[in-house]
Amino acid sequence: MSDYANLVSNAFYTFLTEAPKQAEAWSTLVQNLGEASALDEKTASLAYLAVLAALKLESGIPFHVHVAKKAGATRDEVISAILIGLPATGHQVTQVLPIAVSAYDADD
């Protein structure tokens, strides 16, 4: 299994490998949306982490922490992004905090 496969959920990896045409179409859409954004890569990555935390989408956290770190996000910025939704969503965002911190620390 590739390093990439270790960063994404089994479900997403299966999507990529078993439905390559759909995965390519989805990837093109994601790339186009990213290019249309006025946010820089680091800010967008941190905002995306906040959304994943608010929605409790734990499986996407390791990959997107990697993306944020690669874009220059510090450990404290990743933690802050995870916790930014705390007043609006409650403590559910803390559920992804251990995953995010572990992913950040392991990504060296």
What does the pLDDT look like over 3-56, one tens digit per residue? 666 778 888 889 999 999 999 999 999 999 989 999 999 999 999 999 999 999
What does the pLDDT look like over 74-102, one tens digit per residue? 999 999 999 999 999 999 999 999 999 99
Q: Is 66 helix (H, G, I), strand (E, B) or coil?
A: helix
What does the pLDDT look like over 43-73, one tens digit per residue? 999 999 999 999 999 999 999 999 999 999 9
pLDDT at 1: 38
What's this model's pTM, rounded to 2 decimal places?
Answer: 0.85
Give the domain ranges of the chain: 1-36, 40-108
Q: Residue 100 and residue 17: Cα distance in Å, rounded?
A: 25
DSSP category for residue 55:
T
> Can you identify the CATH homologous superfamily of domain 40-108?
AhpD-like (1.20.1290.10)
